[in-house]
């Protein structure tokens, strides 16, 4: 197995405790990216509180599948793509990584466009210039910043999520009405309702999050003195699985709580005022200025930028991890750039293409919303392979999934598959 500790790294030998970031926490926080904010804003504006239940449903499902992702990385010492390359046919691993790469680049472009539009709303100026600057800033931090300091920056960026909690309390949400809608929702078989469910599920349960968290567990294991893949150090399993579980479930709870506040805020303000056609996060922020005041608008728009800065490196990084492991390259954000040129090259290229998409005729409004739908579609084959992989003793040794997690993982996979099938049927009829 490739041993990272033999190479020079961008991290001090004794990183401070406060500089250590849990993979589950940062993964959950990065889930609420500008594309996700757009999806949640559209859901709240179009359907009011009636789709809030989807965030309660998705929480245990996303937490389970992310815990499975983390276990794969921690047990085997390889990410998802690495395990695909080692144990599955080349056509399967190549197809899955290709789908992930396309989805991530579209998501990168959509998020960068949303961030540029949000900054233009706040200070005016050319949105496309801001897109370029955000792309360059993200790449610069990811490539040249020392690993421990980099994850510390991402940790502080997690605080930007709380801007949406502030918004919800500023607009005075009728919590009794919200509770009734969540507990007893008004369901519908309309195609737009079903597509919205798929978009929400595709935003909360996204393939790039699987790859990122698995790889961060691998990276964390290689950077911590005395830590080893559990196939080689089974005595560490009890402590590590407990850490993974707490880290993941707290991170996913943060993700869905923030998403719930975004839906609730836009339902209380935009839907209540008849503004139901919100297609981007920046458009949601602009609409909030008219109906909820400048303070809510500023906080909401600033949150788009903060969450975008958190998510851009996760999208580019997860793509680089997947491609790098598939090609058996040296991978890892703790490696010096000269030690992993191809890996960092994918990060630069994916971000550059995402920037470039904003200079084409592609409609950024459609790209933003449909990137969530695409993630939902791509997630299904990835989840099926992950479930199969995590139950094979030849790969996971004696650490195959326990029955409760196995059941919840398959339920999550079936729910994602059912929503995608339902979306296809709704379009055909």
Residue 5 lies in a domain: no
The domain total for the chain is 1
Q: From CA 36, how far away is CA 26, in angstroms rounded?
A: 15
Dihedral, CA of residue 212, residue 213, residue 217 and residue 220, to nearest 10: 70
Query: How does 276-297 read in b/e, with b if 16+ C-beta sit within 10 Å?
Result: eebbbbbbbbbbbbebbeeebb
The partner residues of 9 in beta bridges, in order of sequence, read 335
Residue 370 lies in a domain: yes
For 349, counting Cβ atoms within 10 Å of its Cβ (0-12 exposed, 13-18 middle, 19+ buried), the class is middle
Residue 382 lies in a domain: yes
**Secondary structure E strands in 35-187:** none
How far separated are the first and last CA of the chain, in Å rounded?
51
Q: What is the DSSP string of 234-264?
A: GGGHHHHHHHHHHHHHHHHHHHHHHHHHHHH
Task: State the DSSP H helix or E strand holding residue 272, giving kind and residue range, or none if neither.
Answer: none
* CA nearest neighbour of 203 among 57, 369, 49, 364: 369
Q: From CA 45, how far away is CA 115, in angstroms rounded?
A: 20
Residue 17 lies in a domain: no
Phi, psi of 195 (to 5 degrees): -60, -40
Q: From CA 300, how far away is CA 282, in angstroms rounded?
A: 9
Residue 105 lies in a domain: yes
Q: What is the DSSP string of 312-378?
A: HHHHHHHHHHHHHHHTT----TTB-GGGSHHHHHHHHHHHHHHHHHTTSSS-HHHHHHHHHHHHHHH
Q: What is the pLDDT of residue 183?
A: 87
Strand, helix or coil at 107?
Answer: helix
Residue 47 lies in a domain: yes
Residue 2 lies in a domain: no
Question: Look-up: residue for tokens 């955000």?
Answer: 134
Q: What is the pLDDT of residue 429?
A: 65
pLDDT digits (tens, 9 = 90+) for 328-359: 999 988 888 889 999 999 999 999 999 999 99
Q: What is the pLDDT of residue 239?
A: 86
Q: What share of the chain is helix, strand, coil (3-state, %, to 5)?
A: 80, 0, 20
Segments of the chain with pLDDT less than 50: 1-21
HSE (side-chain half, CA atoms, 13 Å) at 186: 8
Residue 8 lies in a domain: no
CATH number at residue 376: 1.20.1740.10
For 57, counting Cβ atoms within 10 Å of its Cβ (0-12 exposed, 13-18 middle, 19+ buried), the class is middle
Question: Look-up: residue for tokens 């041993």?
Answer: 3
Q: From CA 331, how far away is CA 97, in angstroms rounded?
A: 15
Q: What is the pLDDT of residue 368?
A: 62
Task: State the DSSP H helix or E strand holding residue 49, giving kind and residue range, or none if neither.
Answer: none
* CA nearest neighbour of 427 among 143, 193, 163, 144: 193
Report how many helices (DSSP H) and strands (DSSP E) the chain contains, helices first: 18, 0
Tokens of residue 355, six digits: 């920037």
Q: Which domain holds residue 148?
A: 24-428
């Amino acid at each position: 197995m490739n041993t990272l500790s033999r190479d020079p790294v961008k991290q001090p030998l004794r990183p401070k405790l406060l500089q250590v970031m849990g993979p589950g926490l940062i993964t959950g926080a990065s889930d609420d990216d500008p594309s996700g904010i757009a999806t949640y804003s559209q859901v709240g504006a179009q359907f009011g509180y009636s789709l809030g239940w989807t965030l309660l449903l998705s929480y245990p499902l996303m937490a389970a599948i992310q815990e499975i992702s983390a276990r794969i990385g921690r047990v085997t010492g390889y990410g998802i793509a690495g395990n695909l390359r080692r144990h599955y046919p080349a056509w399967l691993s190549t197809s899955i990584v290709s789908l992930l790469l396309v989805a991530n680049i579209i998501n990168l472009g959509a998020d960068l466009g949303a961030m540029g539009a949000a900054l233009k709303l706040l200070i005016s100026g050319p949105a496309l210039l801001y897109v370029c600057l955000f792309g360059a800033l993200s790449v610069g931090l990811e490539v040249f910043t020392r690993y421990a300091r980099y994850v510390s920056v991402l940790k502080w960026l997690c605080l930007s999520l709380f801007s949406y909690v502030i918004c919800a309390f500023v607009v005075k949400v009728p919590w009794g009405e919200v509770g009734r809608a969540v507990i007893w929702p008004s369901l519908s078989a309309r195609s737009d309702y079903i597509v919205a469910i798929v978009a929400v599920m595709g935003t909360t349960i996204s393939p790039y999050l699987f790859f990122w968290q698995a790889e961060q567990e691998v990276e964390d294991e290689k950077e911590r003195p005395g830590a080893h893949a559990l196939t080689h150090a089974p005595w560490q399993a009890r402590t590590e699985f407990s850490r993974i579980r707490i880290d993941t479930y707290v991170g996913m709870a943060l993700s869905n709580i923030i998403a719930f506040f975004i839906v609730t805020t836009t339902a209380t303000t935009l839907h209540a005022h008849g503004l139901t056609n919100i297609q981007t996060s920046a458009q949601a922020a602009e609409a909030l200025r008219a109906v909820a005041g400048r303070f809510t608008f500023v906080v909401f728009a600033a949150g788009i930028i903060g969450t975008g800065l958190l998510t851009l490196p996760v999208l580019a990084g997860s793509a680089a991890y997947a491609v790098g492991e598939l090609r058996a390259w040296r991978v890892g954000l703790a490696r010096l750039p000269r030690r992993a040129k191809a890996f960092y090259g994918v990060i630069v290229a994916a971000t550059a293409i995402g920037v470039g998409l904003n200079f084409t005729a592609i409609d950024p409004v459609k790209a933003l919303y449909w990137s969530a739908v695409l993630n939902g579609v791509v997630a299904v084959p990835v989840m099926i392979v992950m479930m199969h992989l995590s139950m094979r003793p030849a790969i996971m040794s004696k650490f195959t999934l326990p029955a409760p997690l196995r059941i919840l993982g398959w339920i999550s996979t079936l729910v994602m598959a059912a929503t995608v099938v339902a979306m296809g049927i709704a379009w055909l009829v």
